[in-house]
Amino acid sequence: MDRNIQPQAASSRISYKETGLPPRMPRILVAEDDREMRRLLVWNLRKAGFEVIECSDGWELLNHLGNPVLSGEPDNFDLVVSDIRMPGVTGLEVLEGIHETEWFVPMILITAFGSEEVHRQADKYGAADIFDKPFEIDDLIRRIREVLVLDASSGHNWQPKQLVPETADSFPIDVVFDHMKPLEYIQQKITQSSMVLRDLHDQILYARAVVTGPGNINSGRYHIQIMVTLIDKVFVVRSNLKSIRSEADLMAAIPTAFEVTLGKIRKHLKGRLN
């Protein structure tokens, strides 16, 4: 896999080590009606460093997500791991509802009934992956890190690098091109669009944009993912894998990705004060 990382300059401002508070990994929602399976998933994901919230059926899953099928605002989690067959709403039905939104929480489905039709529907609605039971937990964790672009061994390290602007008119951001060659005009668009975060620079430890090309076998489309690390939270904004079909669509989606990210951060910071 050919990845090209273009870092900015290192920072001298206060790091997470000086605060004594490590930045949190992305927040994962686990939905599984089998109690023992749910406990196994939650324990292993927390051991891997993730912040994990658990629920036991489809209705509870929807409630945790803010009912994205109706509201289109699944912004409290960075990834969902869900069983397909659960009381209430199924994992596939939730995935279908999320899939209709332009910016959505990636979902990994697990199932004991992994028929060809189930896999077809999961792919149709943009599942990040589907695991047939039984499966290795380590394989699931590895896939989560790939989906959220957290695999340090591949050059995608989630830990902040304390980046600072090179000039007063710039915002520090790493740009990663995945499954495609670096394109200067796309990087310029990202640099320009990231300026909406400039006023929150003192709150942000690290920011990165990952542009994935059509060579990605899991989507066949372009997509853009923004990750921003604060001291107490990691924000991940990921475009709908099926919606960006061309470089022109990608260019149009980049500013929106940063606006969505800005909205999430402002909402979080406002919540701190309440």
CATH number at residue 61: 3.40.50.2300
Q: Which of 147, 169, 203 is the last residue of a domain?
A: 147
Same domain, 44 and 15: no
Same domain, 112 and 172: no
Contact 66, 73 (CB under 8 A): yes
Say how far apart CA 58 and CA 69 lie, in whole Å: 12
Say how far apart CA 62 and CA 255 lie, in whole Å: 28
Domain assignment of residue 41, given as a range: 27-147
Give pLDDT < 70 ranges for the chain. 1-24, 66-75, 99-104, 150-170, 215-220, 240-243, 274
User: How many helices (H) and strands (E) would you count in the chain?
Assistant: 9, 10
Domain count of the fold of the chain? 2
Element (H, E) at 44: helix 35-47
Q: Which of 113, 147, 181 is the last residue of a domain?
A: 147
Cα 84 → chain centroid: 20
- Give the pLDDT confidence score for residue 1 in this predicted structure: 33
Residue 192 to residues 179, 255, 266, Cα–Cα distance (Å): 23, 9, 20
Structure tokens belonging to residue 197: 């975060």
Say how far apart CA 71 and CA 98 lie, in whole Å: 10
- Give the pLDDT confidence score for residue 20 in this predicted structure: 47
- Give the pLDDT confidence score for residue 83 in this predicted structure: 93
143-156 in b/e form (b: 16+ CB < 10 A) is bbbbbbbbbeeeeb
Same domain, 10 and 42: no
Structure tokens belonging to residue 135: 């499966």
Same domain, 167 and 220: yes
Q: Which of 121, 147, 173 is the last residue of a domain?
A: 147
- 181 CB neighbour count, 10 Å cutoff: 8
